[in-house]
Amino acid sequence: MSPVFPMLTVLTMFYYMCLRRRARTATRGDMMSSHRTIVSNSRTSPLNAEVVQYAKEVVDFSSHYGSENSMSYTMWNLAGVPNVFPSSGDFTQTAVFRTYGTWWDQCPSASLPFRRTPSSFQSQDYVELTFEQQVYPTAVHVLETYHPGAVIRILACSANPYSPNPPAEVRWETLWSERPTKVNASQARQFKPRIKQINFPTNLIRLEVNSSLLDYYTELDAVVLHGTKDKPLLSLKTALVDMNDLEDDDYEEKDGCEMDALNKKFSSATLGDGPSNGYFDKLPYETCVD
């Protein structure tokens, strides 16, 4: 066997490692610059400071395309800074779920659906990610690099996986959800759904996906969590009035006006306009006595 082929294999592996390191270095530099901006903003306005962080690690998932002994097409690629984005295409450094479309659900070996599954539940796969800091979420960005549109639900958990003391109660709150929709594009995109505010901080995010409408495997590169350390102020939609602040004169004046209007309305509706004979005007003519 010619020694050229082993040499080509070694060079190919070295080239791949250089590209991966270069991508990580560039994105890490962007992340550090954004972190400096956040720190500078927190010094001037700590209440409005926003924390931006990538996923620290993957703690649970339903399936992935790659094998357990490999990093190619596995959920582990969702941890850390992006490796591929904003590039588009099929890359082994992304996270890929096991199925797409409906072929796997139509084959003879498909599992039977659960009878008690509600019709509103459309999720087929999921992945759970942890982050370094607990924050009140303001945005969740998903970097999709190939055949986007599979994410249909984003949830936040009240439990902190890194806390030594487990909580007495664990809550899951839906930040955003949508029924599966067809995305007629395969290019990379930064998915930025509008999430709702919750009343507890979190560092555990769950993505649920449905790939039934996709023409090929969806590929995810990274997840970015935006949030604040302090609880955001919720805007009041209705003004609250203290009844003790109203004076008695206001009540009397208001009640007097309402009674006059009510009497006038009752008189016009019941008696009508015309002679002032009162209820006798409503009686038949033959019963009236002059």
The tokens for 2 are: 């010619």
Mean pLDDT of 210-236: 89
- Give pLDDT tens digits for 153-205: 999 999 999 999 988 999 999 999 999 999 998 999 999 999 999 999 999 99
The per-residue pLDDT for 94 is 97
Residue 22 has pLDDT above 60, yes or no: no
Residue 19 has pLDDT above 80, yes or no: no
Residue 22's Cβ-side half-sphere holds a number of Cα atoms within 13 Å equal to 6
Helix (H) or strand (E) holding 14: helix 4-44
DSSP for residue 115: T
Q: Give the pLDDT band of residue 104 (cuts 50, 70, 90).
A: confident
Which residues, in sequence order, are CB contacts of 67 under 8 Å at separation 6+? Answer: 74
Task: Give the separation between CA 282 and CA 271, rounded to whole angstroms.
Answer: 8
Backbone φ/ψ region at 140: left (φ over 0), alpha (ψ -120 to 50), beta: beta
State the average pLDDT for the chain. 77
Q: Is the model more confident about 281 or about 168?
A: 168
- Give pLDDT tens digits for 105-143: 888 888 887 778 787 888 999 999 999 999 999 999 999
Q: What percent of the chain clears pLDDT 70, i.e. is strictly above it?
A: 64
Q: Is the model more confident about 88 or about 272?
A: 88
pTM recorded for the entire structure: 0.66
Return the bridge partners of 220, or none: 95, 144
Task: Give the separation between CA 92 and CA 71, rounded to whole angstroms.
Answer: 8
Residue 91 has pLDDT above 70, yes or no: yes
CATH class of the 50-106+120-228 domain in this structure: mainly beta
The per-residue pLDDT for 68 is 84
The per-residue pLDDT for 224 is 98
φ/ψ of 272, rounded to 5, equals: 75, 180
Q: Give the pLDDT band of residue 31 (cuts 50, 70, 90).
A: very low
Q: Which of 224, 140, 149 is nearest to 186 (CA)?
A: 149
Q: Are 143 and 151 in contact (CB under 8 A)?
A: no
What are the sequence ranges of the domains in the chain?
1-48, 50-106+120-228, 243-287
DSSP for residue 92: T
Q: Are 186 and 146 in contact (CB under 8 A)?
A: yes
Q: Is the model more confident about 277 or about 229?
A: 229
Residue 81 has pLDDT above 60, yes or no: yes
Q: Are 226 and 51 in contact (CB under 8 A)?
A: yes
Task: Give the separation between CA 210 and CA 231, rounded to whole angstroms.
Answer: 32
